[in-house]
């Protein structure tokens, strides 16, 4: 599905198929009742890991593990907290909840795990169906937010979960501040320059990245900045290049821990790269042909689950 003028489609971790049913989050009676329903599905979370069945021998599509009926009730009894995720309108109106089991040690969870493992979604997301990867990412993002917002940022008092897990309210009645799930916008941009062979794009390498992985530039949006402002500033800071013609490409949920990636392409006004050594280890211009042959130099672009890869692949094909 194409939204507006975005150019990228089917981006990994996007496309949750549940109806988030925000109106039901405040219906305490309905929440309690659905947790007891046989059809309700529980997604177990453990320390920001999702329970996934991944068979590396058969290379079958990794499956998220969810529970219903008595198994679900058993998980709810040991969960630290439970977040209502939404309703599967296409499959019997089943309600979905994420149950956080982080207080348990991993061996205690072996009866739940069976042959599955608690994995970082990034290990399996690119191999899963897109709706499954999106649902696991949604559950993980909510679990991370609860973990990092147990105390009020205004007065320091403990916060309490409300509205099915989509709000935390300060327990200090003199404060009472309401906290909502956070998503930090970050821009990620391919800088291109016109020229022979269809021009070139700028790729860079950071020392904290896996060896040989080169990607496009990215950075957080700062207060008081539009997305376009952030693209222009980040490119200038990281590689000393002025850009123009900033075009939106698409977005990707990236709750690792709490970002939304907003993808752009921008055109360079100058070509001499001057890297900020605090940000980057190296950067350079690459033609489409050079990117296709990166492996000959032991280099590669980012994994297929990332919007960075989507943007680079789109640029290669868009000539």
Q: What residue ranges bind Zn ion (CB under 5 A)? A: 152, 154-155, 157, 170, 172, 175, 177
**Least distance to Zn ion from the beta carbon of 159, Å?**
8
Taking the least distance from each CB to Zn ion, the nearer of 120 and 157 is: 157
Taking the least distance from each CB to Zn ion, the nearer of 149 and 267 is: 149
- Token readout for 23 is 């109106």
- How many Cβ atoms from other residues are within 10 Å of residue 276's Cβ? 12
Q: Is 7 exposed, middle or buried (0-12, 13-18, 19+ CB in 10 A)?
A: middle
Residues ≥6 apart with Cβ < 8 Å to 86: 16, 18, 19, 20, 21, 95, 96
- Token readout for 20 is 């988030």
**DSSP of 277-297, one letter per residue?**
TTT-SEEEEE-HHHHHTGGGG
**Least distance to Zn ion from the beta carbon of 178, Å?**
10
Taking the least distance from each CB to Zn ion, the nearer of 103 and 155 is: 155
**Least distance to Zn ion from the beta carbon of 171, Å?**
8
Taking the least distance from each CB to Zn ion, the nearer of 180 and 209 is: 180
- Token readout for 268 is 């360079």
Taking the least distance from each CB to Zn ion, the nearer of 182 and 267 is: 182
**Least distance to Zn ion from the beta carbon of 168, Å?**
10
Separation between Cα atoms, residue 291 and residue 216, nearest integer Å: 12
Separation between Cα atoms, residue 83 and residue 143, nearest integer Å: 8
Cα 232–chain centre separation:
24
**Least distance to Zn ion from the beta carbon of 177, Å?**
5
**Least distance to Zn ion from the beta carbon of 261, Å?**
31
Taking the least distance from each CB to Zn ion, the nearer of 151 and 285 is: 151
Cα 58–chain centre separation:
27
Separation between Cα atoms, residue 105 and residue 43, nearest integer Å: 18
**Least distance to Zn ion from the beta carbon of 188, Å?**
34
Taking the least distance from each CB to Zn ion, the nearer of 179 and 314 is: 179
Instruction: Assign 3-class secondary structure to 52-84.
Output: EECCCCCCCCCEECCECHHHHHHHHHHCCEEEE
């Amino acid at each position: 599905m194409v939204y507006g003028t975005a150019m990228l489609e089917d981006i990994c971790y996007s496309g949750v198929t549940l109806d988030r049913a925000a109106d039901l989050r405040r219906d305490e009676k309905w929440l309690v009742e659905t947790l007891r329903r046989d059809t309700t599905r529980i997604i177990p979370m453990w320390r920001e890991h999702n329970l996934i069945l991944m068979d590396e021998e058969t290379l079958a599509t990794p499956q998220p593990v969810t529970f219903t009926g008595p198994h679900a009730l058993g998980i709810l009894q040991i969960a630290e907290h439970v977040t209502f995720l939404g309703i599967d309108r296409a499959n019997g109106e089943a309600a979905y909840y994420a149950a956080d089991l982080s207080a348990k040690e991993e061996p205690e969870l072996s009866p739940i795990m069976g042959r599955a493992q608690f994995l970082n979604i990034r290990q399996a997301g690119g191999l899963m169906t897109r709706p499954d990867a999106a649902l696991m990412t949604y559950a993980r993002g909510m679990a991370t937010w609860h973990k990092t917002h147990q105390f009020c940022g205004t007065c320091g008092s403990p916060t309490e979960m409300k509205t099915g897990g989509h709000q935390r309210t300060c327990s200090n009645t003199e404060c009472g501040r309401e906290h909502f799930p956070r998503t930090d916008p970050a821009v990620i941009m391919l800088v291109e320059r016109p020229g022979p062979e269809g021009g070139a794009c700028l790729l860079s390498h950071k020392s904290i990245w896996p060896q040989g992985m080169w990607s496009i530039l990215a950075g957080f949006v700062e207060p008081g900045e539009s997305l376009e402002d952030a693209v222009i500033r980040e490119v200038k800071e990281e590689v000393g290049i002025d850009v123009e013609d900033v075009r939106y490409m698409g977005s990707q949920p990236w709750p690792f821990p709490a970002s939304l990636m907003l993808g752009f392409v921008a055109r360079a006004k100058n070509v001499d790269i001057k890297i900020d050594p605090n940000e980057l280890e190296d950067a350079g211009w690459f033609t489409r042909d050079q990117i296709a042959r990166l492996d000959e130099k032991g280099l590669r672009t980012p994994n297929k689950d990332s919007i960075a890869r989507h943007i680079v692949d789109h640029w290669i094909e868009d000539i």
